[in-house]
Each structure stands twice: as structure tokens, then as C-alpha cells.
Amino acid sequence: MSVVVRDGAAARRARGGGGEDQRGACALRLRLAESPDPMASEDVRLRERAPHPLLRGAVQSYSSYEERHTASTEEHRLLPEANIDLVFHCGDARIEGRDGRLRPLPPVFVIGVRDEPARMVSRGLARVLGVRFHPWSALSLLEREADLRGTCTTVGAGLRALSERVGPLLERGACDAATRLIEGWLLARQRVGRPPAGPVAAAGHALHASHGGARVGALAGRLGLSVRQLERQFKRAAGLSPKALARLIRFSRATERLERDPDASLTALAFELGYADQAHFIREFRAFAGMSPGSYAGEVRRLSPRGEGARGARDVDRGEDTRG
């Protein structure tokens, strides 16, 4: 799930499904690891599994997460991502509003399309179960149940009723049973919902496959639409334009690359990810993360179990410290 940017050790990228694993409690972005984590901790459990075949066009994955927070691990930051997450949780969690005040999170909420980070604080034992959707398909399953923009803490009667059944299972740690219950609800919704238009799904998948690099004009042409028609259909289904989704995809790709290699050259990374130049890359990254890519890389390095001090991300072409 998209969940959290974490003040702690280096992040790991979520891939694949199934199987329970125990990972480092402190991660800049909470992800499942591809390999054993040197910071393995019994305070954290993460699990991910694939959806039912009938839901795979809309749902990317289910993730469950359990952690006993301490004073040093209770602060989180939610980074914008190119997905929409339906989240069920039990525990003491609060999210910061635009007025700077922390407000309790309800047992079920939606992390929708956002263009800026959000601060969250969790205390004590937290259990979380998330459903990750493609942004263009979430509306067909969550229509009239949640606002898919920003972080929606007021949901419809259907999700509230589902949460009342999921909550007791989460409290007992029965995440598999809770996931089956949620999946049954989604399958029932799918049978009566309206699927996203074919061109919208095709454009969305093409943008993901190209890591945000596909040209909207070229996509529209291949789909037999004008750019305006594609943008209108896409925004109606996904809540954002194809270009806005491409920006989020590139940003997510950038964080993943910096998490894997915080010493990467920002100039080379900007070129690899399709930004016009390094200045464009830094400007876009700062807009979404609230910090420069150099600062983000510095945090990854500093909080990694193999932390190497406070060096900034390298720019080998210009020989400058770009920590921002």
C-alpha cells in the first residue's frame, strides 16, 4: 500500500505477493523488500497478496501491516503516489490538516490523488489493511462511497458498514479473514459498478508501462481520440489528467531509484526519468515531496543501516552537492 514515508531506515520496494515477512521498522517509504532486510525487526510485519483474478483490472494488491510504534517511529509522512488506497486500520493514528492540527483517523479512509505530502502520527500498536487501486478504476468500485481526491476521512454507508465487520478481525490480527471480507465486498461492487472506459484503462496502463514517459498526444492517436477527448474521459474516470498521472509516476520512480541508490547522479537520473534537465527534476520532486531529491537521498543514506554520513546525492557532471 502507498502508506507511509517513514523517519527511519532505508526503504524497500514492494513487489510480488504473498507470504509474511518481517522488515525494518524505520523506512522512508514503507515497502516490502525483495531481499532480506538487515534491519529485520519483530516490531513490524508486512504482507502483500494479489487480488482475485476478476479484480485484477482494477485492484493492484492488498497489503497488511502491523507495527508497535515507539517515540522514535511514530512520525510518518505520506508521499503522493500514482495510485489510490482504501485503508482500514485499528490503533491511534492522526493526520495533519491544512491548518496544522492533528485529527484522529477513522477506522476506514481513502488516500486519493494528492500533489503534496501529508504528516501522520501513529502511537502504540497499529494494524492496517490496504487495498491499492489503479486511479482510473477506483471510481467504478468506490463511486458514492468516497471522494478520491486528497485524503478522504468521510466515507459512505457501505464502507462504514464494511469497516464495522473488518474492525474486529483487525483487532484480533486476522488479516487474511479481513482481506477475504473486503474482497467479497469489492467483487459484489464490481458486478453492479460501471467499468472505466476502455481507452482510459489502456492509456493508464501505457503510462505506467512507460514510467510516465508516453506522450499523451501519441496515446490519444493510437486510441482513436483527440487529446481533448482523452483528457476529458481520463479526468472523469481517474480524477486527474493523463499528464498529472505521468508526473506522479515519474516522481514515484524517482523515489524508488534514490532509495536503491542514494548516491546516484541527479543529472543522470533526471535524464533516465525523462525530465527536461536536472533543474526540472529538482523542481518537480520538491513540489511533491516538500524536499529536494538530494535531501531525500541524504535521508535515505543517513537512516540506512549502512549510513555513510551526511553526503548529498552526487552530481558527477557538475561536481556539486545537491542536498537542497
What is the per-residue pLDDT for 296?
92
CA distances from 130 to 100, 107, 160, 183 (A): 25, 12, 15, 11
In the chain, what percentage of residues exceed pLDDT 90? 50
Select the more confidently predicted residue: 308 or 51: 51
Q: Which residue has the higher pLDDT, 124 or 150?
A: 124
> 308 pLDDT exceeds 90?
no
Does the pLDDT at position 313 exceed 50?
Answer: no
pLDDT of 315 above 60: no
Q: Taking residues 278-289, what's their average pLDDT?
A: 95
In this predicted model, what pLDDT tens digit does every residue of 241-258 receive, in sequence order?
A: 999 999 999 999 999 999
The answer to whether the CB of 200 falls within 8 A of the CB of 233 is yes
pLDDT of residue 100: 84
Beta bridge mates, 27: 9
Instruction: Give the residue, 227 or 237, on which the prediction is more confident.
Output: 227
The rounded distance, in Å, linking the Cα atoms of 68 and 124 is: 5
Greater pLDDT, 42 or 162: 162
Q: Which residues pair with 61 in a beta bridge?
A: 132
Confidence band, pLDDT 50/70/90 cuts, at residue 139: confident
Q: Which residue has the higher pLDDT, 43 or 114?
A: 114
Torsion of CA 43, 125, 32, 52, to 10 degrees: 140
Q: Is residue 39's pLDDT more than 70? A: no
Kindly state the average pLDDT of the residues 252-280. Answer: 94
Give pTM, 2 decimals: 0.78
Say what the pLDDT of residue 277 is.
94
The confidence score (pLDDT) of residue 35 equals: 30
| 198-211 average pLDDT score | 93
Q: What is the pLDDT of residue 193?
A: 62
**DSSP result, 228-277:** HHHHHHHHHHHSS-HHHHHHHHHHHHHHHHHHH-TT--HHHHHHHHT-SS
Confidence of residue 282 (pLDDT cuts 50, 70, 90): very high
The yes-or-no verdict on residue 310 having pLDDT over 80 is no
- Mean confidence (pLDDT) of the chain: 80
Cell of 29: 517509504
> Percent of the chain, pLDDT > 70?
78
Average pLDDT (272-299) is 94
pLDDT of residue 238: 86
Residues 6+ apart with CB under 8 A from 321: 294, 311, 312
